[in-house]
Amino acid sequence: MKNPPEKNPVNLHIVRVGKRLIDDGNIPSGTKYLIDAIVRWKHAVDDSRKWMRVSFDQRKCEDGEAPCMEITLSVRPSWPHGGKR
């Protein structure tokens, strides 16, 4: 990220890649350690909704692909004049 996180709320998208799909409701609790790591590594101020919006998805592994987590972190666009989102 170009600017310090203090000035940039972020969007975090986590995709669980597994051998099988699980109940969608289990994905957020299984990724809390990743969210905490993003904050610990100072890529976000904290994990409150003001500073981080998190979304989740999942997909099955493709042939020869190992299970993993795909993480996309992007700076949320600024709104003119400090307007509410």
Measure the CA–CA gap between 67 and 77, rounded to whole angstroms.
31
User: What is the pLDDT at residue 6?
Assistant: 59
pTM: 0.81
Q: Are 67 and 17 in contact (CB under 8 A)?
A: yes
Other CB atoms closer than 10 Å to residue 39's CB: what's the count?
16
Quote the tokens at residue 67.
């299970």
- Inform me whether the pLDDT recorded for 8 exceeds 90: no
Residue-wise pLDDT for 11-67, tens only, equals 999 999 999 999 999 999 999 999 999 999 999 999 999 999 999 999 999 999 999
- Taking the C-alpha atoms of residue 47 and residue 8, their distance in angstroms, rounded to an integer, is 13
CA 51 to chain centre: 12
Name the DSSP letter for residue 66.
P
Which amino acid, residue 78?
S
